[in-house]
Amino acid sequence: MTTHAPRTGQGRPANGTVDRCARRPAASRGFAGYFLHMISVALKVLVGLLVVYALIVLLAWRFQERLAFPGPNAPVPDPETLGVTGAERVTVTTADGVRLAGWYLHPQPGPAGGARAPGLVWFYGNMETVADLAPILSALRPPGVGVLVLDYRGYGGSEGAATEDGLYRDADAARTFLTSRPEIDSTRLAVYGRSLGSAVALYLATTYPVRAVVLESPFTSAREMVDEHYAIIPPTLLHLRLNNLERARALQAPLLVIHGAEDGIAPLEMGRAVAEAGGAEELFVIDGAGHNDTYAAAGARYREVMHGFLERHLR
């Protein structure tokens, strides 16, 4: 009987062991294919991220003023209903035809014997409105001083949409209104600006003569704020200026800067820089205060510092 040797697979030794040398080319080809596939996936992800980044940058450039000035809409109530006494609701029209709503707080006590009182234009911070200020104005209004506070265009009860140049037109209109009041001495004006309002206050104080400037939680410039919070956005695309440092250097009036020691939005270093640039008479640092709790953290001391400064320069 004829016997046959056991059949073996092609390329496989008779003893049944795997011929690794024969399989090596196929394994190499498989690894190369996997590697190329992963590179292709990585490139697609990278292109996708670049597209998303470019879209974010484009939107930030196109809508930067809308992002910078997200004005909340709210009607301007009668100030008396919110406990602000000796005040009235007013409407002011800017040179470009925008109607601004706000409050005028009459000097209390009023000037005696036909004398005229000093005036103060108050510029609030971002995301605020006139109505939000009721308790603050009641607590901090300087005695014997007429105070005007208006909603910026696009904020509160005012018309229009906020832009940097538009905010400056609003400041012009505020000054014109206040100096036209018969009981206000137009040669004794002061400005107060908090956060965003610091840029508007410095614009007014470097465009017209004023006796005193109070800045609370000021930032240095729009560009440095972008570097601080939105480093992903190239500064070359920024057309907002809001350059407080530049204007502070040109300031001729006495300056008081108030700043929270723990401010996480406009860091204390920014307040120090603005104070130094403007040759501030005083930098009042409020220990433990952030960006939005300076009034509460400082308590009566805030009022004492602010009123003392204004009294020295408005009388």
* Tens of pLDDT, residues 72-127: 899 999 999 999 999 999 999 999 999 999 999 999 998 888 899 999 999 999 98
192-223 pLDDT tens trace: 999 999 999 999 999 999 999 999 999 999 88
Instruction: Give the three-state DSSP class for 48.
Output: helix
- Could you tell me which CATH number the domain at 72-314 has? 3.40.50.1820
| 150, 130 contact by CB (below 8 A) | yes
- Output the CA–CA distances (angstroms, integers) from residue 238 to 167, 172, 175, 298, in the order listed: 17, 25, 29, 35
Q: Is the pTM of this model over 0.85?
A: no
Angle at which helices 196-207 and 164-179 cross, to 10°: 60
212, amino acid identity: A
Residues whose CB falls within 8 Å of the CB of residue 270, separated by 6 or more in sequence, listed in order: 218, 219, 220, 224
Query: Which tokens is 220 given?
Result: 């240095």
Q: How far is residue 32's CA from residue 204's CA, in Å, rounded to a whole number?
A: 68
